[in-house]
Structure 1
């Protein structure tokens, strides 16, 4: 059939239009007739059917409903699950028909109707996946590049969608000869004002990058022969893509996120055998890490009238502090004066709009983290400590829960890095009282949001108690409010917020460590809540915190812990026997046995047999069920055994003077030595790289053997 005969079938095209309309009508009879007619034409003359559908899709005069259905039918015809079926159907059609169908589809890319050009782009991608691998349709890429030069954004968008499909395909190498034109077009698109087009242009390079990474991964140990488009354009791509970070939407969503593609490019080349490509990757990485100088990103940007600019500047400052500052390692070109300037501006920003305040909290958090072991920065914080604490407290009063959370987290870091010299500690000491008063206000509310605040407040209180306990002067000041603090803590424990209860229990543990043996006066009221936490296996995090606090209290009370040990040990035995026990809790409970034994000494003898039996037999049973091929389970196996060895060593030391206690342990000595033997063989033969002679399970095992020998002598 020649071209003229194809174009002379005008009546056939009109019939398809009518059938396409009928196939979508509400009347079932007419609709079925339309569908049947379309199916009949498809079966009788597939080439003519495809051609007619392509004309329908490309004709701007046709109803939108028929063009939409024509696009769907074209997609379905070329989208069989079996690629061989697709290829056979399409390639069995006369070349003239195929040429006209492709021409119609390319013309449709210029349609003013998005549904039409989008459908055309999808069909073009399907046809390309069939023809291009067998070296048909060599003009496709050139045609798409010409279309991508159009002034109309929708036309360019359609062309780029097709190019993205090619970049993701097995035949992406056809782009190689057009690399310069592709770069120019994508660069113009990315720098242009139409974000949809820019996103497609970025997606094009993302697709190329993903494709080349996949090809490299599939060619491990083999010289990879792909086109290396990313490598060839890396030095041009990086600056162009980094510029897109300047593009933002008013709603604050950064849609043009390009750092991932840049990092993929760098990762793709930084270990390449080609030294030029390695250099290009390193230069690209340097461009990202270097960023603007501090002088360019000066804090004066934080005082700009544009709220979005202030928010972005605070975010950028946080990124710099996070990436380039580590504890004790300050950037050499930032003087103390500049640090003070940053602190002043961030403090002022706490009172700004919610978005600015939140980012300022984040920046301050990262900044303060770098001061933990560095007196240089800490001195700056100390000078403004009162203002800093007050500004963060004010930020924590905001209605936005995200700001409150950020403010409390930052407040914790400020407390941790603050200088507790006698002349400068007052703001931190006073903060504990302020927090406790805030706790009192919050405790009376049943509001769920306030319970979240309560957890954050007790988190701050715990940090304060721990910090104030580090010097004699501040510890004395802190203990002046001991009764008030404990009273407020006990009020929280009956509440139904497990997060708040958990933070309160941890704060009590910190308080017990600070008070020491005098904490005995609080145990009468507290022990029932502690025992409830130990029994709460459904909330394993609360249970875990409770187990940890038992250790804190044991160290604080010593022998005064004895009256409470019977119930605590009974609950811990029950936990170990429960099927609901979380894996992480078992080694913690074993460590808790150690703490109890060290606290009550020879009085632990009455618990010795049950404790050792639970540890040795329980560990043997649990370890036998673990999957040895799972590295995480292997590490858990070692953690569990190490906790047994350390606990048993402590038991033997605590009961060293008791001959009867040694005799009670010996029946389990063989089983303990079996555990030791399993560790020694596994650690040395299978995982030698994990042996840490300072703290590994091997060290604990060897120490236990020595303690067993000492006990036997």
Structure 2
């Protein structure tokens, strides 16, 4: 056990004055990426605050109070920077009164004559919204704060980009602050409701600024827009609907521009814009009600199919973002996605064949699982081609290893969706799972240990899907489940091997427990003696003690299933 010698705390009285002096040596027209003594001093202060916590306040606060209203912009900015830099290390009890007391001055500094000061003020609000958001959504200051932030969206790109960051934190804070709202449910209203439409419209204007490429402003504004929509309550839904149509219209406009692209710079900006619009489309789609989704899905799918057909989709990033947008559409439409399947399947297959860009291939594999879960048995006509591609990818050494655990998991999704029809793939898939379960890695390489755990989780999920799919939903298991019986001893041997492995992840325990429970309900009491062994029982005990609720729930359920078999055996 290492104990702190408090060297940093002892050095505060000597270090902080030097750092304060360095903070006043800003370069007025520096680029955001330039590294200079002033920026280094700010980072050093942040680290000292994290290390020394509240002890730093008496060394920094006098400088802040003396200089925050200095006639010299360098000193105003240094005071602001010092204040913003120490926020992350302080205890909430110390922090809240400090920030609440400073709010009127901070809001005033958002209108400062110096762009450097306004930039730092916007950055400080970004920090406040991230670290102590309750101070920002305080009733006394919320209206003037929002006015200053919206005004800041029209400022220089560096200032506006920091304002967008502040909105990102503010949106989440306001949503989470709704009292009495259960986690996972949408509140009806929140403290930003009356300003919501105005903020969204100003953010949309900001994404369209001609100087949006500077200081990453365009992507910061879209990011803020996504967070505002994601964290929006029920009474802001009309604005969400309106935003969905605006984003869709923009995507269509952008797709028309493709023929006018002249240079590589234009192409890069065009691809970035398509990716941002796809990501924003995902965010708004997730908020669209099940009744509204089918009314706009034709227009969205038409735009996305046009995008897949365009030259820009030769860029892996754009292809991946388009796949993710389709995935969200599948999520909101469920079985309703079936009508697009014939038009979309060629592009799904292209994604699965994209071995060169493994993120694209991985997204396509994930989307395959989403589609099968949504379409259920209606996915059957597409399964032969999909299964062939997935099996080819598993056997191909050029496919990035990170994709392979996902493929195994998708076998489970397919089995679950088509049930008894999975029989025709059973032998080849079981053979593949045996091979995958024998994988060994260098235990000194942590990345490879993580990969092994992911691979095993994929195997467990495949077995789980196959068992549930063949067993069916009825109380009496479907006779097809007997096809798996010769393979059961091997599955239990694999479970035991993972149970003995001290490098296993918590998610392995969860997936393993789920599989144990499914084996019990599918094969009944004849399995009890094979499963009632020390490593399996110890694994379930570990699972029940887990801090992760999913693991705890699955391990408790599997234990109950085991007890049922035990009592059936003894009676």
Report the TM-score when normalising by structure 2.
Answer: 0.74
Which residue matches 1:651? 466
- Aligned to 1:518, what secondary structure does the other structure show? helix
Which residue matches 1:464? 284
Which residue matches 2:550? none
Distance 2:106 2:414 in 1: 55
Assess, with a 3 A threshold, how the Cα gap between structure 1 residues 644 and 304 changes in structure 2: closer, same or farther.
same
- After superposition, residues 304-343 of structure 1 pair within 5 angstroms as 304-325=112-133, 330-331=134-135, 335-343=138-146
Assess, with a 3 A threshold, how the Cα gap between structure 1 residues 389 and 652 changes in structure 2: closer, same or farther.
same
The Cα offsets for residues 542-593 of structure 1, whole Å up to 9 and x where unpaired, read as: 1111111112222221111110011001100001001022222112111211
Residue 194 of structure 2 corresponds to residue 389 of structure 1: no
Distance 2:292 2:453 in 1: 43
Assess, with a 3 A threshold, how the Cα gap between structure 1 residues 351 and 267 changes in structure 2: closer, same or farther.
closer
Which residue matches 2:491? 672
Structure ranking higher on relative contact order (CA contacts 8 Å, 6+ apart)? 2
Assess, with a 3 A threshold, how the Cα gap between structure 1 residues 259 and 301 changes in structure 2: closer, same or farther.
closer
Q: Is the 8 A contact 1:638 1:697 kept in 2?
A: no
Q: Is the 8 A contact 1:656 1:711 kept in 2?
A: no
Which residue matches 2:16? 238
Work out which of the residue numbers 435, 439, 446 in structure 1 matches 2:247.
435
The Cα offsets for residues 248-277 of structure 1, whole Å up to 9 and x where unpaired, read as: 211145532224444666787x6xxxxxxx
- After superposition, residues 123-138 of structure 1 pair within 5 angstroms as none
Distance 2:480 2:443 in 1: 35
Distance 1:576 1:491 in 2: 30
Distance 1:336 1:223 in 2: 41
Q: Is the 8 A contact 2:206 2:212 kept in 1?
A: no
Which residue matches 1:559? 377
Which residue matches 2:533? none
Larger Rg, first or second structure (1 or 2)? 1
Which residue matches 1:355? 158
Work out which of the residue numbers 224, 227, 233 in structure 2 matches 1:413.
227
Q: Is the 8 A contact 2:16 2:60 kept in 1?
A: no
The Cα offsets for residues 341-376 of structure 1, whole Å up to 9 and x where unpaired, read as: 222221222122222211211221122232342237
Distance 1:396 1:523 in 2: 33
Which residue matches 1:633? 448
1:666 CA drift (Å): 3.3
Distance 2:526 2:8 in 1: 70
Assess, with a 3 A threshold, how the Cα gap between structure 1 residues 266 and 544 changes in structure 2: closer, same or farther.
same
**Please, what is the CA RMSD of the aligned residues?**
3.1
Q: Is the 8 A contact 2:408 2:459 kept in 1?
A: yes
Deviates more, 1:238-247 or 1:429-438: 238-247
Work out which of the residue numbers 394, 397, 402 in structure 2 matches 1:584.
402
Q: Is the 8 A contact 2:463 2:515 kept in 1?
A: no
Work out which of the residue numbers 342, 352, 356 in structure 2 matches 1:534.
352
1:306 CA drift (Å): 2.6
1:232 CA drift (Å): 4.6
Deviates more, 1:245-254 or 1:426-435: 245-254
Q: Which runs of 5+ in 1 are unaligned?
A: 1-219, 271-277, 469-473
Distance 1:304 1:457 in 2: 33
Distance 2:49 2:156 in 1: 37
Distance 2:323 2:525 in 1: 37
Q: Is the 8 A contact 1:297 1:313 kept in 2?
A: no
- Aligned to 1:532, what secondary structure does the other structure show? helix
Which residue matches 2:300? 485
Report the TM-score when normalising by structure 1.
Answer: 0.60
- After superposition, residues 619-630 of structure 1 pair within 5 angstroms as 619-620=437-438, 623-624=439-440, 626-630=441-445
Which residue matches 2:90? none
Q: Is the 8 A contact 2:137 2:170 kept in 1?
A: no
1:530 CA drift (Å): 0.7
Distance 2:205 2:458 in 1: 45
Q: Is the 8 A contact 1:652 1:711 kept in 2?
A: no
